[in-house]
Chain A
Amino acid sequence: MINKVVSGAEEAIKDIENGHTLMLGGFGLCGIPENCIAALVKNGVKDLTCISNNAGVDDFGIGLMLQQRQVRKMISSYVGENAEFERQLLSGELEVELIPQGTLATRCMAAGYGMPAIFTPAGVGTEVAEGKEVRNFNGKDYLMEYAFEADFAIVKAWKGDTAGNLIFRSTSRNFNPVMAMAGKVTIAEVEELVEAGALDPDHIHTPGVFVHRIFQGADYEKRIEQRTVRTKG
C-alpha cells in the first residue's frame, strides 16, 4: 500500500505558491479544512484563486484568508454570510465569479471524472450565461460549462487511512468528495487517521487513488453558523 501520510498541515501545503488555484471543501463552515486554512493564513501565500461554495464568515474559514488579502479571486455560489467579502467585492478589490451551486459541484465532478465540460440548464437566460456556448438538446437550452482546473484540492474528512481512503460524516460531506477527485494534488485532513486495513472497503467514500497527502488534523472548532434548536416538551 502506498503511504500518503504527511506530518501535518504545514508540510501538506508547503508547495502551494502565489497565484495557485485551490479548491476548498465545505458548505458554509461545515466540513471545511480548518487546519490547512490556518496553515495557509500562517504561511501568507497570496494571489490565490479559491474555488469554494462559500467564503467563510468574517473571522473563520476562508474569511481569515480574505482578511489578509491572500485571495485574488473567489469562485463561489453563495457569499451572504461574509460582510468583508461583500465589501471587497462591491469595492472591486476582490475578483469574484458567482456561479450556480450545482454548476460548481458538477464542474468539480467533471474534473474528477476526466470530462472536459458539462451541459447544464442552470443560468440559461441570465448573466451567468454571458459569453458561454448554448446548446439545445431535445428542445431545451443548456450552457456548456468547463471542468475546473485546480492546482490543489484541500478537503476535510471524518476518517481516513494511511492509503488515503476517506470517509465523510453527515452533511460535512458536501463538496469534499467531488473536490477530492478534482485536484492535481489533493490534500486531505481527517479527524481520525487509521492504518490501511482498518476501514471497511465497502464504506469508503473517496478511494485513496485521488488523495496525495493525508494527515490527522487537530483542534477542530467546527463552528456552527446558525444554531437552531427546539425545546423538549
Chain B
Amino acid sequence: MLDKNGIAQRIAKEIKDGFYVNLGIGIPTLVANYIPEGINVVLQSENGLLGMGPFPFEGEEDADLINAGKQTITTLPGSSIFDSALSFGMIRSQKIDLTILGAMEVSENGDIANWKIPGKMVKGMGGAMDLVASAKNIIVAMQHVNKAGESKLLPKCTLPLTGVNCIKKIVTELAVLDVLPEGGFRLIERAPGVSVDFIRQSTLGRLIAADNVPEMKLD
C-alpha cells in the first residue's frame, strides 16, 4: 500500500519530456517532487503562471507570487505570467498536456465529482470544471476509499459532478487503473503487497483484472 508520496511518485512516471502540466491541490502538488531527472516539464498554475518553481527560501516569500493553492512559490528561468482569462485560454485550447487532480468519486464511465457535498461542504469547483472539460489527458490522484471506508470508484457518482466522461487514469494507494472507453476500471498495476482481491473488495464499480496484474515499480 502506498502513502500519499508513493501515489505522487507513481504518477510522476506518467510525465513525459516536454510536457506542460497542471497540478491540482493536495496529492497532485506532491508530484512535482518526483519528476525524473532529465525530464523537462513546465508546471502551469491556473492563477496565471507558466513555469512554477519551488517554494521560496525563508525570508524570500513574495505575497504577489502564489500558486493556485495560494502557496508562496517562485518563478524559474523561462517563466511567464498572464491574466486569468488567458490562463484558461491555454487550458481550453489544449496547450496543457496533462492535468493531475484529486477526486471524491470517479465513476466507471469516467465521470468525476470533487467540488461539493450537498448540505455539508461547498468549497467550489475553482478551475477543476474547466480543466476536466478540456484536458486531453487527466490523471486522478486519490485514496481508493473515503474516510468512512466506502469505495470512491463507483458504478455512478453520487455527488454533484465536476465533469462527465473525462477521466482516463486513476492512481490510488492500492492500484493504477485505466477507465475504459466502454466503461469499467481496468486494473493495470497493484501497489506493493496489495492483492487483486483486496482491490476488488475496495472497488464498487466494475473492475476488470487479468490473472496476472503486475506490481508497481516506483524506481
Question: Is A103 an interface residue when CB atoms closer than 8 A count as contact?
Answer: yes
Q: How far does the alpha carbon of A29 sit from the alpha carbon of B57 in the complex, in Å?
A: 21
- Once the chains bind, are A171 and B47 in contact (CB under 8 Å)? yes
| Tally of B interface residues using CB under 8 Å | 58
Question: Is B19 an interface residue when CB atoms closer than 8 A count as contact?
Answer: no
Question: Is B39 an interface residue when CB atoms closer than 8 A count as contact?
Answer: no
- Once the chains bind, are B92 and A28 in contact (CB under 8 Å)? no
- Once the chains bind, are B125 and A98 in contact (CB under 8 Å)? yes
Question: Is A230 an interface residue when CB atoms closer than 8 A count as contact?
Answer: yes
**Knowing A79-B124, A126-B164, A232-B57 touch, does A103 contact B66 (C-beta < 8 A)?**
no
- Once the chains bind, are B163 and A126 in contact (CB under 8 Å)? yes
By beta carbon, the residue of chain B nearest A27 is B47
Q: In the complex, which residues of chain B have a beta carbon less than 8 angstroms from the beta carbon of A123?
A: 129, 133
Q: In the complex, which residues of chain A have a beta carbon less than 8 angstroms from the beta carbon of B134?
A: 121-122
Q: In the complex, which residues of chain A have a beta carbon less than 8 angstroms from the beta carbon of B164?
A: 124-126
- Once the chains bind, are B161 and A125 in contact (CB under 8 Å)? yes
- Once the chains bind, are B61 and A77 in contact (CB under 8 Å)? no
- Once the chains bind, are A78 and B55 in contact (CB under 8 Å)? no
CB distance from A179 to the nearest CB of B (A): 9
Question: Is A219 an interface residue when CB atoms closer than 8 A count as contact?
Answer: no
- Once the chains bind, are A231 and B58 in contact (CB under 8 Å)? yes
A 194-228 contacts with B by CB, 8 A? 205, 222-228
0/1 interface trace, chain A 119-157, chain B, CB 8 Å (1 if under)? 011111111100000000000000000000000000000
Q: In the complex, which residues of chain A have a beta carbon less than 8 angstroms from the beta carbon of B111?
A: 125
**Knowing A80-B123, A98-B122 touch, does A178 contact B85 (C-beta < 8 A)?**
yes
- Once the chains bind, are A27 and B66 in contact (CB under 8 Å)? yes
Question: Is B73 an interface residue when CB atoms closer than 8 A count as contact?
Answer: yes
**Knowing A98-B122, A126-B160, A174-B83 touch, does A223 contact B63 (C-beta < 8 A)?**
yes
- Once the chains bind, are B122 and A79 in contact (CB under 8 Å)? yes
0/1 interface trace, chain A 14-49, chain B, CB 8 Å (1 if under)? 000000000000011111000000000000000000
**Knowing A79-B122, A90-B122, A106-B88 touch, does A222 contact B64 (C-beta < 8 A)?**
yes
- Once the chains bind, are A177 and B123 in contact (CB under 8 Å)? no
- Once the chains bind, are A76 and B69 in contact (CB under 8 Å)? no
Q: In the complex, which residues of chain A have a beta carbon less than 8 angstroms from the beta carbon of B214?
A: none
- Once the chains bind, are A101 and B72 in contact (CB under 8 Å)? no
CB distance from B126 to the nearest CB of A (A): 4
Question: Is B56 an interface residue when CB atoms closer than 8 A count as contact?
Answer: yes
Question: Is A53 an interface residue when CB atoms closer than 8 A count as contact?
Answer: yes
**Knowing A178-B85, A227-B61, A228-B72 touch, does A102 contact B56 (C-beta < 8 A)?**
no
- Main secondary structure, interface of B, reads loop
Q: In the complex, which residues of chain A have a beta carbon less than 8 angstroms from the beta carbon of B83?
A: 105, 168, 173-178, 205
0/1 interface trace, chain A 61-94, chain B, CB 8 Å (1 if under)? 0000000000000001111110000100110000
Q: How far does the alpha carbon of A108 sit from the alpha carbon of B85 in the complex, in Å?
A: 8
Contact of A101 (CB < 8 Å), options: B56, B67, B119, B126: B126
**Knowing A222-B64, A225-B70 touch, does A100 contact B92 (C-beta < 8 A)?**
no
Q: How far does the alpha carbon of A229 sit from the alpha carbon of B71 in the complex, in Å?
A: 9
- Once the chains bind, are B64 and A53 in contact (CB under 8 Å)? no
- Once the chains bind, are A105 and B87 in contact (CB under 8 Å)? yes
CB distance from A71 to the nearest CB of B (A): 16
Question: Is A109 an interface residue when CB atoms closer than 8 A count as contact?
Answer: yes
CB distance from B161 to the nearest CB of A (A): 4
CB distance from A21 to the nearest CB of B (A): 19
CB distance from B217 to the nearest CB of A (A): 29
Q: How far does the alpha carbon of A227 sit from the alpha carbon of B133 in the complex, in Å?
A: 31
Question: Is B101 an interface residue when CB atoms closer than 8 A count as contact?
Answer: no
Q: In the complex, which residues of chain A have a beta carbon less than 8 angstroms from the beta carbon of B163?
A: 124-126
Question: Is B91 an interface residue when CB atoms closer than 8 A count as contact?
Answer: yes
6 contacts between A and B (CB under 8 A): A89-B122, A98-B122, A102-B130, A120-B133, A224-B61, A228-B71
User: Residues of A with Cβ closer than 8 Å to B?
Assistant: 27-31, 53, 76-81, 86, 89-90, 96, 98-106, 108-109, 120-128, 158, 168-178, 205, 222-232
The 10 A-B pairs with the shortest beta carbon distances in the complex, nearest first, are A102-B88, A102-B130, A80-B123, A125-B164, A222-B63, A100-B129, A105-B84, A121-B133, A78-B126, A78-B124
